[in-house]
Structure 1
Amino acid sequence: MNKVLDIPRVNAKNMTDKEFFYGHKACAGCGGSIAVRLALKVLGERTYTALPAGCMSAVGFIFPQMAFNSNAIITTFPGAASMASGIAMGAKALGQKDFKTVVFAGDGGTADIGFQALSGMIDRNDDVLYICYDNEAYMNTGIQKSGLTPYGTQTTTTPAGKNLPGTLTHKKNLFEIIAAHDIAYAATASIGYPQDYLNKVNKAKHTKGASFIHVYASCPTGWGTPTETSVEIAKDAVDCGLIFLAEYEDGEFKLNRNPKEFASIPDYLKKQARFKHLSDQDIEIITEHRDKKWSRMRKHWL
């Protein structure tokens, strides 16, 4: 893998004033739009962006108010990664240099519908950065469960009631599945820790070959949270251990944040309408799953 240790850090003081994603029609407080905006400010104007069906393509391509200020295209739902591979190879064949191709796709378009093309892109080691903005459901089409919807979530396809807690499955281990391809670079992030996210996008920008970032991106509409708390609640998810910050490169896993104590899981869950039905037993199941995952990560990644 290409070493990137000498690349200057990107932060609020030296980041460009230019905006490459603005004027969109996303819901107030949309975490996905924050993830896209920050990433494009790191990647810059020489960026080719591919987006499958999802929130960001729906809110960013409303003619004549186009939200992308650099080259961007809507792809097929399952084919974002393969189409991005073609874009990258086409630009290379034209002799273009100093450009980056990026995919922005939701959790459903990544962990479910688009996974085959993503796996092929990584297998070929195409020079594409794939960013999954994870709002934990198919929000654009009506808040349906995806492979990254956590246990106990109430969605329109996993209703909560007397006999069901909502979603019965836990989130797919997407980061580990991607790492199992022995990808050049992969990372997890959260809009609640923006500097960590910026650092990882910058590292991926300078990685030659396939790279992947799974960024946790809150959704007030689907989660039932106040619009002004989007960044705060994405931080809470990390602090209580339900989301972790990590990297995979050179065949090794690395935890970027390893707290001695976790914040309260019930406090995080109770802020969201999608979890208001959970019983103490449900919260215990969620806590046990977190503890088992962290025990495994600390044993093998530290």
Structure 2
Amino acid sequence: MIDVAYTIVEEKIFCSGHHACPGCNAALAFRYITNTLGQNTIAVVPPSCGAIISGPQPLSSMRIPVYQTTLEASAASAAGIKRALKAQGKDHINVVAIAGDGGTYDIGFQSLSSAAERNEDIIYICLDNEGYMNTGAQKSSSTPYLAYTTSTPGGKPTAKKNVAEIMAAHRIPYMATATTGYLDDLVYKVRKAKDIKGMRFIVILVPCLDGWGVADHEGAKISRLAVQTGVFPLYEVENGIKYALNYGSQGIPVSNYITRQKRYRHLSSEQIDEIQQVVNADWENFKVKFNA
């Protein structure tokens, strides 16, 4: 494993006074993303919790330009802005799309995949709260197997889409996973992405306190458990080939993670065991890729 520990130096781009829920992990991610990227940045944000956090126009919680695009066009909009900047000789300005899982895994995936195939010179960050939380906690293709949502009250019958591996398969220069439970790792990956040319993709697990049914102060703790149980390993892939593991399973039972969330309270012990078996199998496959 690669252990990353940094002194986090923040440029004050993200401001207080936004309209996120108390304890919101998406707002926490926004803070460290934008403060790490700095002033020479333009953000593209589709309809999502992120649009509420960044602010209704003409107001904003960020001291950088923010373009609020349509739900399906985040990557295309970011690519267009970056190409326009290059034409003006302003290649030093970063363009970052910050979208939710609904706008990434689902509705915006066509433009994202196309941007990756063209190797557009943008950073694309998915704030993954595993559902359409901004519109009532409906399921997305990021929602995990058997998790409750308002559109899957008996538990989602299908597995979570593995968007990290899908993006790595595009052989883009950089793909990484991160979470708000390991902020030094998150900052390291945003900083690394900032210095790379071409398409960069980071998916950040951001627990939705209301949608997941966790206490206001437990978002970061829950996301750490996702990593430590092996549900959401933190890793990097360069050019679709070079894998590096940052943080992964510490042998903590998956039950420690899911029993803290109301979205799983309908599960039987047999179903929890089933999830554990899937996580175990996935982790064994991961270790082969990482040479861990």
Q: What TM-score range do you get, normalising by the shorter chain? A: over 0.9
2-structure distance, mates of 1:141, 1:263: 33
In the alignment, is the contact (CA less than 8 A) between 1:22 and 1:37 conserved in 2?
no
In the alignment, is the contact (CA less than 8 A) between 2:176 and 2:237 conserved in 1?
yes
Q: RMSD of aligned C-alpha atoms?
A: 1.4
From 14, 23, 27, the equivalent of 1:29 is 23
Is 1:71 matched with 2:65?
yes
In the alignment, is the contact (CA less than 8 A) between 1:21 and 1:40 conserved in 2?
no
From 102, 127, 130, the equivalent of 2:124 is 130
1-structure distance, mates of 2:159, 2:78: 30
Give CA-to-partner distance per residue, 1:3-60, whole Å, 9 cap, x none.
Answer: xxxxxx8533xx1351334321011111111111101111001101001111110232
Task: Quote how far apart the aligned CAs of 1:300 are.
Answer: 2.7
Aligned to 1:255: 245
Task: Quote how far apart the aligned CAs of 1:297 are.
Answer: 1.1
Task: Quote how far apart the aligned CAs of 1:97 are.
Answer: 3.6
Alignment of 1:1-302 (within 5 A): 11-12=7-8, 15-63=9-57, 65-160=59-154, 166-250=155-239, 251-259=241-249, 261-302=250-291
2-structure distance, mates of 1:137, 1:183: 26
Aligned to 1:6: none
Matched residue of 2:218: which SS? helix
Q: TM-score, normalised by structure 2?
A: 0.94
In structure 2, the gaps of 5 or more residues are none
Matched residue of 1:256: which SS? strand
1-structure distance, mates of 2:252, 2:212: 20
Matched residue of 1:140: which SS? helix
Give the aligned residue type for 2:104. T
Give CA-to-partner distance per residue, 1:116-149, whole Å, 9 cap, x none.
Answer: 0001111111110000011010001110000110
1-structure distance, mates of 2:91, 2:49: 30
Give the aligned residue type for 1:230. G
2-structure distance, mates of 1:256, 1:66: 34
Give CA-to-partner distance per residue, 1:184-233, whole Å, 9 cap, x none.
Answer: 00000111011111100000000100000011101111111110111111
Q: TM-score, normalised by structure 1?
A: 0.91
Change (3 A) 1:64 1:92: closer
Matched residue of 2:225: which SS? helix
2-structure distance, mates of 1:225, 1:244: 21
In the alignment, is the contact (CA less than 8 A) between 1:48 and 1:102 conserved in 2?
yes
Give the aligned residue type for 2:43. T
Give the aligned residue type for 1:134. D
Give the aligned residue type for 2:140. S
1-structure distance, mates of 2:226, 2:153: 22
Matched residue of 2:97: which SS? strand
* Identical-residue share of aligned pairs (%): 39
Change (3 A) 1:232 1:210: same
Matched residue of 2:96: which SS? strand
2-structure distance, mates of 1:71, 1:159: 40
Matched residue of 2:236: which SS? strand
Q: How many residues align?
A: 286
Give the aligned residue type for 1:255. L
Change (3 A) 1:65 1:87: closer
In the alignment, is the contact (CA less than 8 A) between 2:14 and 2:30 conserved in 1?
no
Aligned to 1:163: none
Query: Which segment is superposed worse, 26-35 or 58-67?
Result: 58-67
Matched residue of 1:227: which SS? coil
